[in-house]
Each structure stands twice: as C-alpha cells, then as structure tokens.
Amino acid sequence: MTVLDGSDVIGPGDEPEPMALVDIDDVGALQVLRRGVAESPELKEGFWGTVVRALGVAGSKLLVPVTIQLIIDKGLSGDEVDLSKVVTFVSLSALLLIASIFLERATYFRLGCMAENVLRGLRVRVFSHLHKLSLAEHTASKKGVLTARVTSDVETLTRFAQWGAIAWVVDSFQIIAVLALMTYYSWELTLVTLAVHIPLIPTLRIMQYRQLRAYDVLRTRVSETLGSISESVMGMNMIRSYGQRKATRERIDQAIDDQYKQQMSAARYFSFIIPMTDIFGVVAIASVVGSGVWWGSSWGLTSGELIAYIFLVNLLLSPITQLGEVLDQTQTALAGWWKILKVIDTPIEIPDKNFGPEIQTGPLSVKAEGVEFAYREGDRVLHGINVELLAGSSVAIVGETGSGKTTFAKLIARLADPTAGKLFVGGVDLKEMASQDRRSAIRMVPQDGFLFDTTVAENIRYGRPEATYNEVEEAVHSLDLQPWIESLPDGINTLVGERGESLSVGERQLVALVRAQLADPGLLVLDEATSSVDPETETVLEHALERLAEGRTTISVAHRLSTAERSDLVLVFDHGNLVEQGPHDELKENGGVYNKLYDSWLGNTRENSDGSN
Amino acid sequence: MDGVFRRAAKLVARSFRLHPVPHILAAMGANIFSFAVVGFTVVIGRVTDEVIIPGLDQEGVSGKSVLIGMGAIGIVGLSRGMSIMIRRWFNMMAVARTQRTWRKSLTYRYLYVPMKFHWEYPAGKLLAHTDSDVEVATSMLMPLAFAMSVVVLIVVSLFSLLVVHPLFALVAVLLFPSLTWLTRSMSSGISGPAAQAQEEVGKLSSIAHESLEGVLVIKTLGREQDEVDRFEKTASDLKDQRIKVARVRSNHAPVIFALPQLGNLILLLLGGWLYSQDAVSLGEVVRALALFSILALPMQILGFLFTQIPQSVVAQDRIDGVLETDTEKEFPQSEIESSAIKFTNVSFSYPVAGQSDHLVLNDLSIDITPGETVALVGSTGSGKSTLVSLLTGLMPTTKGEITLGDCNVSDLGPEGASTVIAPVLQETFLFADTLRENLTFGRPIPDGEINRVLQLVEADSFVFELSNGLETVVGERGMTLSGGQRQRLAIARALLCRPKILVLDDATSAVDPTIEAEILSNLQTNPDRTLIVVAHRLATIRLADRVLFLSGGKISAEGTHDELLSVPEYSALAQAYERAGS
C-alpha cells in the first residue's frame, strides 16, 4: 500500500539528474556496456554472486503478501481457526525476513563497493591517459571538455551507480517476482492488472521525459541567474560608477523571476507524476477486487489470494515508476560513459621511451629536416621546415600570430611530434631520445607562467625535484633574483595561490626562469610573454633572462624587437613556412617579410620613446 | 539542539509570513491526505468483510455491492491522489517563492551595500549565498507540510487502530517511532562521510582543473606521473568516504525496509489470535495491515526533517549575515554646475587584519580646472586607482573632501557623480549582451553617434567586421574580444555618456601603442572635456598639460613631464617605463 514517495523529502534538487540529453542511439547501449566492462575489470569481480543475492532480496519483498494469503486461506478460513498454522507461517516468515535483512545488507554493500572501485579505477585511468596525450589534444578550446571528462562525466556515472544501477538489478527482479506470484495465484487477474497498467507505461514515459526536459531548462535558467548575479559582482565598479545599479537590479530580478517560472513549470510534473501512478494503482485495485469477486469462484480464486493480490499491486507499481526514472538517468550515464571511453581510445602519440643514445652536456645543436605539422582535425600549420642551429647560439623565431612559430618551438621541446620530417637535438633524433634524458637536456619555458598552488621554493623545485634547498637558493642567486625574493611577504616560502595568482604575471615568469635555471638544460626554448608586465618587473625579468641564456643554446619565440636584435640568428615564419633566416641586420637590409615586421614594431614602440633620450 | 529548533521555527514562520497562501493550501492538501489514507484502509477493510469474503468464501454478493465497493475504493483513492497533487504543487510554490524572495533581497544588498563589504567577501562566496545557501535554507520547507500532517496522520491512524483493537495500536506505538529514529540515525551517520566525500570531489576537481590547466608546464617538466599519483590518492580518499556512506546506508536501509514488514507479521499473528477469539473481523485485520504498510514513509519523513533542520538553519544564518548589512545611504539628486575638481586634504586608509590601518592617501590636495588634461603618475601601489575610486564616489574618503563644482562627492554618491564623470577602469567589464547594449546601457542612441565614437577609439573596423556588427553578443559562440578591443569598447561606452570628465585608469594598457596614441589625440580634440589619465607609457604622459606625481600618499611633484624629469624619483620611474616600452 505504499503510495508515498521519497521525493517529498529530497525535493526537486535531487530529481532524476537530467544532464544534457545526449543521444547515444548511434552507438547502442550494448556496445557502450561491452566496451565499458572491458575497460573496467573491477566490474566482473563477484558479479554473479551479486546477481544471485539481488534475486534473494527481490524475493523477500513477497514475504508479507504470501504469508497473508497462507494465513487467510489455510489458517483462518473454514470452520475451525487453526492457530498453530498461523504461528508456523508467521515465525517462518519472520525468520526469512531477518535473514533477508542480512542478505540485503551484504548486497547493497557489495554493490556500493563495486561501484566505487569501478569509478575510482575509471577516473584514474582517464586522468592518466589525458596526461599521456600529446599537447596537440590539449588545445585551449578542449581544455574545459577534457576536465569535464574526469569530473562531471564521472560524477554522472557515480549518481547512476549509486541509484540507477542498483535499481535496474533489484527493481527488474522485483517486477518479475511479483508478476510470477500474481500469475501463480491467478493468471486471469494478472491479465486484468496488466491491462490497467498498459496505458500507465506510455503516459509515465511521456511525463517523465517532459519532466526531464523541464529540469534541463531549469538548469539553464539557474545558470543564467547565476551569470547575471556574477556579472553584477564582477562588474561592480563599472555598474556603480555609471549609475547602472537600478538597471542591473531589474536585469537580475528578471532572471530570478524567469527561474521561478521555470521552477513552477517543472513542478507541474513533480506534483503530477506520483499521484498519477497512485491513481492507476487504485484503479488496478478496484478492478482486481471487482473482477476477482465476480468471476473469482469460477477461476478457483481464494479470498486470501485476492487480498494478497491487493498488496501485490503496490509492490508492482513502485519499481515500475522507479525504472521509468532510472531509464532517463541510464541514457545520460551511458552517454557520459561513452564520452569517457572515447578519451581512453584517443591514441597516445608520444610513448615514453626508457633508453636512448647518450646526450652530451653543454649547449646543444638543433636540426630540422622537412618538418611538417598538422593538428588531428585541421589544416597543416608547418610545411617542410629545414634549418640548422649551432650549439650555443641564440635564436629568435619571429612571425605574425598563426605563422607557426610557437608550434615549431613546441615540436623542438617534443610537446608533440612532427607529422612528417625529423628533428635532431645534439645530433640525436628526438624520437630516439630517452624521455628522462630529453627532459633534462631540453627545457621549455612557456609563456603562461602557470604555477602550482604551493610555495615559490616548491615551484622552483619542480624544475628538478631532487634539488636541495641550497641548490634552489643558488639558482635564485645566479639569476640575481635575491632582492626580488626578499621583497615577497614570506621570501622564498611565499605561497603563490591557485595557478600562482597571488603573484603578478611578471613574477610568475621569474619563477619559471629560476625553475629552468635549476634544471640546467643544454637547450632552452623560451616562449616570450605577450601580455604586458609592469615596468619595474620587466627590467628584472630581462636581466634574469640574459643570465639564464648564458652557456646554452636558446630558442626564443620573440614578441619583442629587442629580443630579435640581440639574437645571433633570426628565423622568420610566415604561414607555416620558414621564409627568411639570418642575423637581424642582414634581414633588415633584405627588405622582405622581416623588414615589414620590423617596421611595424618600430612604429609601435620606438616612435614614442625615442624622443625622450 | 533546543536553540536549533527555535531558530528553525522562526525560519518557517518567516517563510510563512512572506507567502501564507501557498503554505496554507499545501498544509490543507497534506491534511486531506492524512484522512484519505486512513479512509482508504477503512474502505479496504470493509470491502474485505462485505464483498471479498462473502463473494469468494460464502454465499456470494450482489453485483450492486461489488460496484459500490469498487466505487468506494475509486473515490477515496482519487481524493488521496488529488491531495498529494495539491500538497506537492503548493508546497513547491511556497519553497520557490521563498527562494525567489531571498535571492532578490540578497542581490539587492550586493548592489547597494558600501564597497568595503565587497573587499571582505570574495565573489564566489556571494554567489554561493544566492545559489546553494538559498537551496539549503529552504530545503527544510520541502518536507514541512507533509511532516506537519504526519502528526494528524498519526492521531487519526492510532484512533483507527484503537477502534479495531487496542493491541494493534500498541504494536504501532512500539514500532513506528523506531523508524523515525532509524532514519534520523542513518541520515546523520551519512552526513559526515557524505560531506567529506563532497569535499574530496571538490579537491579532485580542482586537481583536475589545475593539472589540465597547467598541462604545458607539467609536460615541459615531465611531471605527469606525479600528477597522476596526486589524483589517484584523492580518488582513493573519495572512494573510501563513499564506501563509508554505503556502509551506513546498507546497515540501516534494510532494517528500515524490513520493520513495517515485521510489523505486518506481528499483526498477522495477533490478528489470527484475535480472530479466533471473535474479537476482530478479517476485514479489520486487513485494514490494520494496509495502514501499517502506508505509515512507514511518513515516519521516515519526520526523520529526514530532523536531519535537514540544522543544515537549513546554518544556511539561513549565512544569508541573514548579508541581509543584516546596511545599504548605503540614499543620495539626494543634485545638479552639478561645473566640472571643476577639488581634493581638499583627502586621506584614505583601509583596514588590514591584525594590523593598523594601511594609509594609502595622506592629506592630499588637488585642483583640476575644466578642460585640462592631467596625467597621474606613480609607482605600483601609490594610490592612483584609489584616487580614481574616491573621485567617482565609489568609496568615501577617510578624511577631507572632494568637490565637483559646488557639490561634495560624498553627497553625490556614484550615481550622482556619474552624471559628469565617466571612468574607464583597468579591468574592463562587458555584460554578456549585445555590443549595442554594452555601449548604450539601453539608451536610444542613434547609430551615427555610436559609429562616430567607435571611430574615435579606433574600434569601428573590428566591430563592423563582426558578422552581426553591433548586435553581436559578447562571449557567445567563441566571440572573444582581445584585451585591447575590450578596452577600446569601454572607452567608447564612457564617451557615449557624454561626460564632462573622462577618467582613463590604465585603460589602454592592452591597446597597441600606436593605436593608443591615436586614440588619445582623438580624445583631446574636445576642449571642454577634462581628461584624467593614469598611465605607464611615456607617450601618453607627454600628452598631458600637467603631470601629477603621486608618491608617499601625496602629490609629491607636479608640472609638465619635462619639468618633472629633474625630480630624481620621477625620472627613475620614467626610465623604467621607457625600457619596458622598447
């Protein structure tokens, strides 16, 4: 007779989680399952034992109706009331019920553990795979998506594992068990029950689907509200100093009102579905009672069986409703699973290599032979680059945005492999080099200056984890950065904050330089920052860079003219081709691409400051 | 605990006073439900005695009584279903309306509290108040109507059982409170590890974010395996917490499921015995059985409510913390006659936790005549931006006063000052709306004027290259603007306010220097407009009629750029700027 449901308690926030409605029809649920099981060996452990236990749990739900039937038909009906039978049936049932508590406990715990083990394994496998992918896969536009794979997509699966997966096993067994018992009592009444339920199933599906959609829209409204509130906080200075508070308040109130309206439109389904199934249940009971009493005698139906039947109708309703909700959750979970599996399927382009030819110490030469590069889904960005750079030279790579200069630098640091051609550093093919050797010989300093959320010292030590505290200090000294370190609130032990955000852009670059100095590579690849740095830090930065470059081959992706002027060799990239190379003065005379670039630089920076000298 | 319940009662009372109608209707639905539930069991009992037993075991029944039985089941069942519908709908309405009220009052505070409030509260926290805190604070209202009607349900049920037989009522009294207790114990047992797990999820996701954000650095350093280890450790911690939750749940849930069944078995035993004594009819036993099956969930609802209460109270406290902050005073509307700016002995300091206040501006005085171009120069942290914030009325001075014409800025407030001043701040801020909306704030400004201003700030070419021109929505479908483009739009927005005073606070830092110079010379063409620039580039500084050199919280020197070069501190800064520019 259970007609109430838990969602009163939990509230709409925990309604079936209808994430993006992803269509996985083109893949098929079975295919996802097969791939998923193959990828998660934890799933197979003790699988059949769990299934058998779940069957036992489903069976135990029938205890009460069966006992009611037995007692009424065998103990209480007829002329003599047989109390001994009543006692026997009740105690037998009670024993089984107590046993079922332990069985259920073990089953739920097993299922829970299995799910958590699978999820943990999957999470770590995806994360580790993501780090093995080449940098070409980690484009800015994909970053958010990849992060979602190890976070929200796995959480989707978690929600499914905690409720949906268990419901599939237990509920479907319960439906089968109840139907079997019903049919055993009277197949005619089972037909009546099914006839009443047939319209329920499509109605329920439609309503549940609409509910899903409504909550999907609600989620969009919620993020719109949050968006407008966040704008009002982030743009507070502007909003206030332009007299826009009233208008902003109206915008936010509008968003809050829209959210409310959507909440109520989703509430239509929230308040309709449960009572609707309840009413179906009532109709089923009324029909069962009516037809049972009217034709029961001719079907050989006993009163105990009919009364038990009334209780059984409710045991059928709740798993049907629950499975309906689970079905949608299952679709999203499978879609999420598939997305995760696809990440694991992305091929690893740069496999780790443990042994390789020895690399000389000191400055290293660089040679490119017909190097080409194209992103997996995209145009070629480098075409047949041939160049030789001498050991110990300083090289500037220049070119417009999108000319391929940064890509070329990344290939030299082996953040991705050329799609054709070969790269040699210190005379050794990059692909032949052992990973460990490569990391100590070649060091790239990227422009984004990302830092880990720890101290300055620890961030520097990331350059060479085995370095001692003294070596870290030494590296700071050798770049003349002691005064800067001392100016920090806690010196070298200052915490840098998330992504290093407590430090300025320039200061983050300083940390990156010391990090490189500590590693002492023979080849240094520098990606110059484009963003502006405050003038005081800029001076320090330039000096530190000069010190860092001493005694190494340096390749700089240059955004500043002064860098190109100082270099021994300038490589000019244009539309993925190496169009000019030579020293600054020579290229300037040529009147080619470099000259144009030089003119625009000159126009930008020199014109204004020259006069002050 | 007592205090918590009193506060919870207050919380309910507030929501009730705000939105009485849906609350009352929900309570009504819930109470109808209580009666319908018990009524249904009575009907089932009577149908058993008067239709089923005579129909199958005895002489048979008339078609009329079968129909009456079916009709009674249908009617009582239908009213039960309807009452659930009414309760759920109006309960949801009460909750959603309460949420709407809190969200609106919170965001009103965010907009109208003094700026210093925002120094103390990070944006993330403010957003959490309007989102999760509002959800949690109202979540105890969700089972409220139902829980209140449970009391009625218990009374009616006990009465119904007493009518059948006192022993049945006794079983219920012994059995059902333990359900409430078990549910409560399960929820509180879960809440610890569940919160811990939620924290681990947060940790895991920030590791993932950090790690994938910094993937380039990690690759260049060869730290991939360390990252995986770090992630794996947290993933294992998460697994352990979740397994703890599973353990608590699997320890309690089967007992909670089994207890009503056990109650039914006891009823059957008792019922069989009482039936043999002719104390009860078979239908009455069935009626008690049916009631027992139904009572299980309401008893659990009470348990859930008890665990929800403390969380809701705490969340409401956080919301009230904001609601209790006073908003700024009302600023009277006043007409500003002249755009002459005067700072008289202005000081400004802000509090530093655990230390004495940090003095940023110290007894500073400035006079700026209408139409003048003034450059503010000073090293990082010298108080240039603070000075701009004081001038625009964003913050009150600690000492001294600032006047615009005859009006004191502290009487004008930011809205009042905005009628003459348009500041363009270092961090440009654009709404996620069309460019037109961003530029005009919805005022009807003819395209001609917008275009002219866009030309002035050298933004016309890139704006009209956009496929939708002015109707392009900022941030939509990868429509990204570079920092320099955003800054130029921000200047255009300021100009469209037709300000008498234009303040550029490092507002061209990301703009290409050649373009910057053009923009600035374009801006100087209006002789009536005062221009105040905070600048780092010598070209900009040189454009100014007068340079104010800010140092030690005061204007330590003023004059033209060339005059100031004789000040050693100033010329050192100028040299640093020059090097950075090359």
pLDDT per position as a tens digit, B232-289: 999 999 999 989 988 998 898 889 888 888 998 999 999 989 988 888 888 899 999 8
d(CA B228, nearest CA chain A) in Å? 6
Contact B131 A226 (CB under 8 A): yes
Rounded CA-CA distance B414/B421 in Å is 9
A9 in contact with B, Cβ within 8 Å: yes
Predicted local confidence at residue A93, as pLDDT: 92
Rounded CA-CA distance B344/B319 in Å is 40
Work out the average pLDDT over A344-360: 80
Contact B478 A230 (CB under 8 A): no
Rounded CA-CA distance A462/A222 in Å is 41
How many CA atoms lie within 13 Å of A422's alpha carbon, on the beta-carbon side?
9
Evaluate if residue A453 carries a pLDDT over 90. no
A245 in contact with B, Cβ within 8 Å: yes
Residue holding tokens 């902050």?
A: B325
Residues 311-350, chain A, touching B (beta carbon < 8 A):
311, 314
pLDDT in tens, A49-107: 878 888 888 888 899 899 988 888 887 776 677 888 889 999 999 999 999 999 888 88
CB neighbour list of residue B562: distance below 8 Å, 6 or more residues apart = none
Mutation choice for A interface testing from B217, B427, B502 by most A CBs within 10 A: B217
pLDDT in tens, B164-174: 899 999 988 88
Q: With beta carbons under 8 A apart, name residues in chain B contacting A515.
A: 221
Rounded CA-CA distance B230/A453 in Å is 13
Q: With beta carbons under 8 A apart, name residues in chain A contacting B209.
A: 147, 151
Neighbours of A376 (CB within 10 A): 12
Nearest in space to B63 (alpha carbons), one of A298, A195, A291, A301: A291
Amino acid at B241: Q
Rounded CA-CA distance A571/A583 in Å is 9
Predicted local confidence at residue B2, as pLDDT: 55
Rounded CA-CA distance B413/B411 in Å is 6
B542, burial (CB in 10 Å: exposed 0-12, middle 13-18, buried 19+): middle
Q: E strand or H helix at A571, and its extent?
A: strand A569-574
**Sign of the alpha-carbon dihedral angle for B131, B132, B134, B139:** positive
How many CA atoms lie within 13 Å of B257's alpha carbon, on the beta-carbon side?
23
Candidate from A90, A263, A293 with C-beta closest to B61: A293
Evaluate if residue B582 carries a pLDDT over 60. no
Q: Are A418 and A394 spatial neighbours (Cβ–Cβ below 8 Å)? A: no
CATH tag for A366-607 (out of 3.30.565.10, 1.10.3720.10, 1.20.1600.10, 3.40.50.300): 3.40.50.300
Rounded to 5 degrees, what are φ and ψ at B272?
Answer: -60, -45
Candidate from A8, A296, A445 with C-beta closest to B142: A8
Q: Are B29 and B145 spatial neighbours (Cβ–Cβ below 8 Å)? A: yes
Work out the average pLDDT over A281-303: 89
Q: E strand or H helix at B376, and its extent?
A: strand B373-377
Beta-sheet strand order (sheet of B530-534): B421-424, B501-505, B530-534, B373-377, B546-551, B554-559
pLDDT in tens, B26-38: 999 999 999 998 9
Evaluate if residue A314 carries a pLDDT over 70. yes
Contact A90 B84 (CB under 8 A): no
Candidate from A8, A76, A413 with C-beta closest to B275: A76
Contact B264 A609 (CB under 8 A): no
Q: Are B14 and B144 spatial neighbours (Cβ–Cβ below 8 Å)? A: no
Buried/exposed code over A297-327 (b: 16+ C-beta within 10 A; e: otherwise): eeeebbbbbbbbbbbbbbbbbbbbbbbbbbb
Predicted local confidence at residue B103, as pLDDT: 95
Q: With beta carbons under 8 A apart, name residues in chain B contacting A1.
A: 40-41, 290-291, 293-294
B125 in contact with A, Cβ within 8 Å: no
The domain spans of chain A are 29-185+333-349, 187-300, 366-607
Q: With beta carbons under 8 A apart, name residues in chain A contacting B437.
A: none
Token reading at A32: 């996802």
ipTM: 0.85
Rounded CA-CA distance A193/A489 in Å is 76
Residues 407-436, chain A, touching B (beta carbon < 8 A):
413, 415, 435-436
Rounded CA-CA distance B405/B402 in Å is 10
Contact B56 A227 (CB under 8 A): no
CA angle A245, A250, A254 (to 5 degrees): 150
Q: With beta carbons under 8 A apart, name residues in chain B contacting A608.
A: 513, 517, 537-539, 581
Mutation choice for B interface testing from A287, A608, A610, A613 by most B CBs within 10 A: A608
More confident residue, B459 or B581: B459
Report which listed range, A167-171, A202-206, A596-600, is most confident: A202-206
